[in-house]
Structures are given as structure tokens and as C-alpha cells.
Amino acid sequence: MKPENYSERRIDVDGWQVNLTTYRLGEKWHGRADNVSPGATLARVEAASREDAENQALTRARELLARTRRHAV
């Protein structure tokens, strides 16, 4: 199967940069959120629509990012 409708967009989540990637493979939409500058995967989800995939990935990313502490340097 060919992946289709590949898209990437960058948004701010509570002060953190998040890169949202989505694409469709067959009937499923796949979503991934990463933390941009390090680039580590925060969430990887499957959904029935792009909107759902983005929302699920963002929800999980937001949960994880809320645990990150900033330290004075």
C-alpha cells in the first residue's frame, strides 16, 4: 500500500515545540508527535481520520510534556 496525504506541521504545546506528522495508509490514519529539537517520538497513534490522529497524538504529547521540569541555569 502507498502512504498518502503525508503532512507535517509544527505547533506550540504549553511552551514546547511539537511536530505533528500524519499520513493515511489504507483505511487508517497514522499520527506521530515528536519534540522537534531533540526529535524524540512522544506519541504514535492510529485513528479513523486525520483530525482524530492529530488530537490523540497531541493529547498524549501534552500529558508527557506536562511532566518536564525547567531548571534554572
Partner 1 sequence: MAGYAHPEALVSTEWVASHLDDPNVRIVEVDVDAKAYAEGHVRGAAAWNWSTQLSDPLIRDIVHKTQFESLMTGSGIGNDTTVVLYGDNNNWFAAWAFWEMKIYGHRDVRIMNGGRKKWISESRDLDTNAVKPNPGVPSYRASDPDLSIRALLGQVQLAQKSASAVLIDVRSPQEFTGEILAPPGLPETCQRGGHIPGAHGVCWSRACNDDGTFKAVEDLNLIYAAEGVAQSTPVITYCRIGERSSHTWFVLKYLLGVENVSNYDGSWTEWGNLVCAPVERGAAKLVSHG
Tell me which residues touch partner 1 (CB under 8 A): 1-4, 6, 8, 16, 21, 23, 25, 30, 32, 34-35, 37-42, 44, 46, 61, 64-65, 67-71, 73
Instruction: Closer to partner 1 by CB, 3 or 51: give it.
Output: 3
Instruction: Closer to partner 1 by CB, 8 or 51: give it.
Output: 8
Which DSSP string corresponds to 17-66?
Answer: EEEEEEEEETTEEEEEEE-SSS--EEEEEEESSHHHHHHHHHHHHHHHHT
Distance between CA atoms of 68 and 1, rounded to whole angstroms?
A: 38
> Cβ 55 to partner 1, closest distance in Å?
17
